[in-house]
């Protein structure tokens, strides 16, 4: 049996202007689909302790992690274990420094979103993306993070599968999250931890030890390890 099953990428009305997800509705839906934990990742901010503590107490039985999705010069980064927003962390190199100081864990979010859409690159006047996973693994962003989001609810199956292959190439752990801004999709992609998580510090420790794997299919009662069961998808056709 898994320890704690967490949707690692969630946005609520408490801290994301583009979200329609009320925090209490998040917990209700999490319970309904079988999650035992949530990682709230508001855009460029974290919940303050005076909001977080009573919320955790109100919803005992669900592990509530206080993360953040940081907008950086190399894309969006999910940070778990930071003490709060810090000056300069929109530069990923600075965010890496702060994470090292505080022992936080960094995950590159939806790293290949739109990368297989030729219109996306044409619109920006760039050449189409044509790297292999081995070549993509050398991109600077992947050298500065601890893990890779290999399952994102707003990505296509091809984008997720490519991210998985990059993670496997680098030997970096993969996470899963719905990227939900409403109740739709909550819990479909997860990180499944080996142990029952007891605190934020315990979660970060387990992440650094790699004691989790990306999961999918929980709402259907078919939770499986995406790292082991992913179906091959051609990158380029």
Distance, CA of 226 to CA of 161 (rounded, Å): 9
pLDDT category at 1 given cuts 50, 70, 90 is: low
Query: Would you say the pTM of this structure is higher than 0.85?
Result: yes
CB 193 within 8 A of CB 3: yes
User: pLDDT at position 16, please?
Assistant: 74
CB 80 within 8 A of CB 99: no
Q: Which domains does the chain have, with CATH numbers?
A: 5-229 (3.20.20.140)
Share of the chain above pLDDT 70, in %: 100
Q: What is the pLDDT of residues 31-72, one digit of tens each?
A: 999 999 999 999 999 999 999 999 999 999 999 999 999 999
Tokens 């039985």, located at residue: 61
Q: What is the pLDDT of residues 204-214, one digit of tens each?
A: 999 999 999 99
């Amino acid at each position: 049996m898994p320890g704690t099953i967490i949707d690692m990428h969630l946005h609520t009305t408490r801290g994301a202007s583009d979200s329609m997800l009320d925090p209490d509705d998040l917990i209700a839906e999490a319970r309904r689909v079988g999650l035992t934990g949530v990682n709230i990742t508001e855009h460029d901010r974290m919940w303050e302790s005076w909001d977080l503590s009573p919320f955790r107490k109100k919803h005992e039985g669900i592990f509530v992690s206080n993360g953040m999705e940081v907008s950086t010069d190399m894309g969006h980064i999910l940070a778990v274990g930071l003490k709060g927003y810090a000056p300069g962390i929109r530069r990923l190199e600075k965010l890496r420094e702060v994470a090292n100081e505080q022992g936080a864990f960094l995950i590159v979010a939806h790293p290949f979103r739109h990368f297989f859409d030729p219109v996306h690159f044409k619109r920006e006047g760039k050449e189409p993306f044509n790297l292999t996973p081995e070549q993509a693994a050398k991109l600077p962003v992947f050298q500065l993070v601890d893990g890779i989001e290999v399952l994102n609810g707003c990505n296509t199956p091809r984008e997720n599968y490519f991210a998985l292959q990059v993670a496997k190439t680098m030997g970096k752990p993969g996470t899963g999250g719905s990227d939900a801004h409403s109740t739709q999709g909550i819990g479909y992609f997860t990180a499944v931890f080996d142990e029952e998580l007891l605190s934020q510090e315990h979660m970060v420790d387990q992440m650094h030890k790699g004691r989790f794997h990306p999961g999918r299919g929980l709402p259907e009662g078919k939770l499986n390890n995406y790292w082991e069961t992913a179906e091959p998808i051609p990158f380029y056709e």
